[in-house]
């Protein structure tokens, strides 16, 4: 189309202006062709132009403008760059001169259609180049921003991994502290029990010092014929008055014993009463001066109903199958659980009764202490069962999922020592960077002889999780053979996810 002869001479002024612009452009074309060092035919053959076309495009003629196409202008610029080191500024001036020439020919009153098409091609080419330049600049900037973003993402991933590591360390230390607290609780209980036993033992030893001289050589069974004499209370306020009262009681007991003995020997045939004094009813006990009743049998009767008449010493252990009598109230009580009972004798003269009360309290406390220490282990043993209410030690660890084909499952599970209705399991879910969720669940029960723990719904730990995290349904963990544990969300809803010890 560019070779078509055009009628461009509409007036003298316009003719001169077009001729000057055409001559100036053709001179630049001729100069660039010479700089390439190629002949017009070589240049035409090299880029597929027709014979004589390059010569026509570089020679100006009034009758035939023969404006070259834009493709020839671009080829000539590239050849001049490679062979003559054409500068970018000179190339841009030449290309702009070509566009101005086309605009002059299209500005005439009746422009040729070929010139209009060539001008549109030129304008579109410039627009494409401008867009390409802007696109390349944007791509280059995007590459820089992408690199910077990748650096920030790596830093964030490093911080996230560091945060996870620190959290695991905190959880491990928390678990260790829970173990230490449990051990401390056990040690405190043992210490308190031992101290209570030692206190009871020291109290018993203190009471042993106040037994009568005849009793220091052995128990009551070694002296069956001696009269029953109550032990003196520990020294304190009113000691002299209590001693006088006890002396009067001893005299009264001795008198009653002699009277009973004389009555049984003189009331009939002595052979009928040998060995049977304990089977018949005895005389009415005489009242002592302090309001307590004297024994109804003589001191020699120690085999009646298989029970010794000697009263238990305050602070001694229980007499299984026996009984203890209170001197003033006449009441009796049976103790077969490891405890003991005591009583306080009244003072007929209105004296201080604190000594008797103190003795009863001391004996009762000592017996209760011994009963507690003797009965607790048996109760604990009989109350144990196959499934306890605490997390078995096998489950207490940090676990990591092995079949990591579901991003919806927790990647890390931390099981701590806990009892029923206490927080026992922490779930940690890791999705796309930044999607970190932590949830906690309570222990519901222990089943299958300690091989399974049932867990309630896992609730979101909001301080450690974003707002989009959601709770998990109840589930259970089973011991997986030969190692690890299996996590089942709900029965019949899907496979069990296996976890192993976190490395």
Q: Which helix (H) or strand (E) holds 22?
A: helix 12-36
Radius of gyration of the chain (CA): 59
- Of 277, 255, 278, which Cα lies nearest the Cα of 268? 277
pLDDT of 452 higher than 80: yes
8 Å CB contact between 451 and 436: no
- Residue 196 and residue 198: Cα distance in Å, rounded? 5
Distances 480 to 171, 389, 494, 498, 501 between C-alpha atoms, Å? 24, 21, 17, 8, 12
In angstroms, how far is CA 155 from the centroid of its own chain?
26
pLDDT of 188 higher than 80: yes
8 Å CB contact between 292 and 346: yes
pLDDT score for 74: 92
pLDDT score for 275: 44
8 Å CB contact between 408 and 352: no
Average pLDDT, integer, range 434-460: 92
pLDDT score for 369: 35
Average pLDDT, integer, range 257-280: 54
| Contacts made by residues 318-327, CB under 8 angstroms, sequence distance 24+ | 318/367, 318/370, 318/371, 327/230, 327/292, 327/293
Please tell me the least confidently modeled range out of 108-112, 374-378, 457-461: 374-378
Q: What is the pLDDT of residues 11-37, one digit of tens each?
A: 567 788 888 899 999 999 999 999 999
Higher pLDDT, 457 or 406: 457
Q: What is the pLDDT of residues 133-155, one digit of tens each?
A: 899 999 989 999 998 888 888 88
- Of 50, 48, 49, 68, which Cα lies nearest the Cα of 58? 68
Average pLDDT, integer, range 382-393: 68
| One-character DSSP codes across 248-300 | HHHHHHHHHHHHHHHHHHHSS-GGGGTT-TTTSPPPPPPB-TTSPBPPSS-TT
3-state secondary structure of 82: helix
**Confidence class for position 359, pLDDT limits 50, 70, 90:** very low
pLDDT score for 343: 36
Percent pLDDT > 70 in the chain is: 62
The tokens describing 270, both together, are 């002595």
Beta strands in 290-340 (DSSP E): 324-325, 332-333
């Amino acid at each position: 189309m560019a070779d078509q002869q055009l009628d461009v001479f509409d007036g003298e002024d316009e003719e001169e202006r077009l001729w000057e612009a055409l001559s100036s452009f053709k001179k630049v074309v001729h100069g660039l062709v010479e700089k390439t060092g190629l002949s017009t035919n070589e240049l035409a053959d090299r880029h597929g132009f027709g014979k004589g076309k390059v010569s026509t495009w570089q020679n100006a003629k009034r009758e035939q403008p023969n404006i070259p196409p834009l493709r020839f202008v671009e080829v000539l610029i590239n050849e001049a760059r490679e062979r003559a080191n054409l500068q970018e500024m000179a190339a841009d001036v030449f290309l702009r001169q070509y566009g101005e020439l086309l605009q002059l020919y299209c500005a005439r009153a009746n422009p040729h259609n070929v010139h209009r098409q060539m001008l549109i091609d030129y304008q579109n080419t410039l627009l494409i180049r401008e867009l390409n330049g802007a696109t390349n600049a944007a791509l280059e900037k995007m590459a820089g921003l992408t690199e910077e973003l990748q650096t920030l993402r790596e830093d964030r991933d490093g911080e996230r991994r560091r945060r996870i590591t620190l959290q695991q360390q905190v959880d491990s230390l928390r678990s260790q502290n829970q173990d230490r607290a449990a051990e401390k609780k056990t040690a405190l209980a043992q210490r308190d029990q031992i101290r209570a036993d030692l206190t009871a033992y020291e109290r018993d030893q203190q009471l042993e010092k106040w037994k009568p001289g005849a009793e220091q050589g052995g128990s009551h069974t070694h002296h069956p014929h001696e009269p029953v004499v109550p032990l003196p209370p520990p020294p304190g306020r009113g000691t002299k008055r209590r001693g006088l009262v006890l002396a009067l009681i001893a005299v009264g007991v001795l008198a009653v014993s002699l009277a009973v003995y004389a009555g049984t020997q003189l009331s009939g045939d002595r052979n009928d009463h040998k060995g049977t004094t304990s089977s018949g009813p005895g005389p009415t006990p005489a009242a002592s001066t302090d309001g307590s009743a004297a024994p109804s049998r003589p001191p020699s009767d120690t085999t009646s109903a298989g029970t010794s008449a000697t009263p238990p010493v305050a602070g001694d252990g229980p007499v299984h199958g026996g009984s203890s009598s209170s001197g003033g109230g006449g009441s009796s009580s049976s103790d077969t659980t490891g405890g003991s009972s005591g009583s306080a004798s009244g003072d007929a003269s209105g004296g201080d009764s604190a000594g008797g009360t103190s003795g009863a309290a001391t004996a009762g406390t000592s017996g209760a202490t011994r009963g507690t220490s003797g009965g607790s282990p048996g109760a604990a043993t009989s109350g144990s069962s196959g499934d306890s209410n605490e997390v078995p030690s096998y489950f207490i660890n940090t676990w990591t999922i092995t079949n990591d084909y579901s991003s919806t499952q927790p990647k890390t599970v931390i099981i701590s020592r806990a009892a029923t209705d206490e927080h026992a399991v922490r779930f940690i879910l890791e999705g796309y960077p930044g999607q970190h969720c932590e949830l906690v669940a309570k222990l519901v029960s222990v089943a299958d002889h300690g091989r399974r723990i049932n867990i309630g719904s896992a609730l979101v730990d909001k301080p450690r999780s974003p707002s989009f995290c959601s709770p998990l349904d109840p589930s259970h963990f089973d011991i997986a053979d030969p190692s690890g544990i299996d996590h089942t969300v709900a029965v019949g809803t899907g496979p069990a996810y296996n976890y192993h010890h976190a490395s």
